[in-house]
Amino acid sequence: MATLQQLADLVGGRIEGDPAQRISRVAPIDSAGEGEITFLSNPKYLPLLSGSAASAVIVAPGVAAAGRNLLVCANPYLAFARILTHLQSPPSRPAGIRPGAHVAESARCGEDVTIYPGCVVGEDVVIGSGTTLFPGVVVYDDVVIGKDCVLHAGSIVREQCRLGDRVILQPAAVIGSDGFGFAPDGPRYYKIPQVGIVVLEDDVEIGSCTCVDRATLGETRICRGTKLDNLVQIGHNVVVGEDTVMAGQAGIAGSSKIGRHCTFGGQAAVTGHIKVGDNVIIAGRGGVTNTIEGGEHPRMLSGFPTVPHKDWLKATMSFAKLPDMRKEIKKLQKQVEQLQAELKES
């Protein structure tokens, strides 16, 4: 529970209405009731506000709603996230190493670490203070995990990998599985040992069933603040720059380098051994086959192989017309052939 003024102070906003209004939780605009706050970040939802029973609304500057308690801030969506965290995501209490967890004697755990039953923590592992391992987490030997990390049920961190502070692994994420490396040996393949590691820097989040492969030699690195959705595949020796986001089923092939603050839509893919620069946006199902230069401003590309997004939109407008265009071209070809025959005769 908090007053509207307390929430405004939390997000750096200002109040229009009653600053003493008590707020217990955040709710959707169409179902919010007394004591609840909702948010309006998209103008198309403004008509829903008239029928909402919310006690307060988070809005951007310039939004008017007579008789409403408003929390006005420059970024309503960010304010919503921070208020939701404050009101409805209280920090969990440390519970120590629970019965049924197997932790090697050589492992070193910081203060306020929680390890639930069914976890296996290998030899010489280091776990920072405030970190939680939920049931079924497996941590191989010589792993280092930073402070205030959360490893959800069934996630796996293989040998010698390094996790920074505040890293989150969603259920069944796999960090440090073998890279896909095989040397042709006649009709067969010889497995190349994958002896490198994975490094996840601070504030990285890895989605459920996402795999980040260990390097063949050296390291695969996911830089600070990057967020990977569910079912993302990161190949061996890849580097993903800071604050990059990838939606579900995106894939980066081995040894490619991704810049800072990039965005990859669902099923977007990058072939191996190329570079994608800073601030590049790859639309869903986009396929990157050559190096893309970045810049200070966002650059959006689409299609396979990728082209500038506006060009791709123009091309897609023509797809439905292609059958008729094909017929028209054939008709024009016949007319040209007839004219050429007539010219020869004359």
Amino acid at 332: L
Amino acid at 63: V
* Catalytic hit among 102, 152, 236, 261: 236
What is the SS3 assignment for 329?
helix
Q: For the whole model, what pTM was predicted? A: 0.90
Listing from the earlier edge strand, what are the strands of the sheet with 36-39? 14-16, 70-72, 56-59, 36-39, 25-26
Instruction: Judge contact between 252 and 220, C-beta under 8 A.
Output: no
Q: Is 236 a catalytic residue?
A: yes
What is the SS3 assignment for 39?
strand
Tens-place pLDDT, residues 131-186: 999 999 999 999 999 999 999 999 999 999 999 999 999 999 999 999 999 999 99
Tens-place pLDDT, residues 294-326: 999 999 999 999 999 999 998 888 888 889 999
Torsion 8-9-12-15 (CA) sign: positive
Tens-place pLDDT, residues 176-211: 999 999 999 999 999 999 999 999 999 999 999 999
Instruction: Judge contact between 220 and 202, C-beta under 8 A.
Output: no
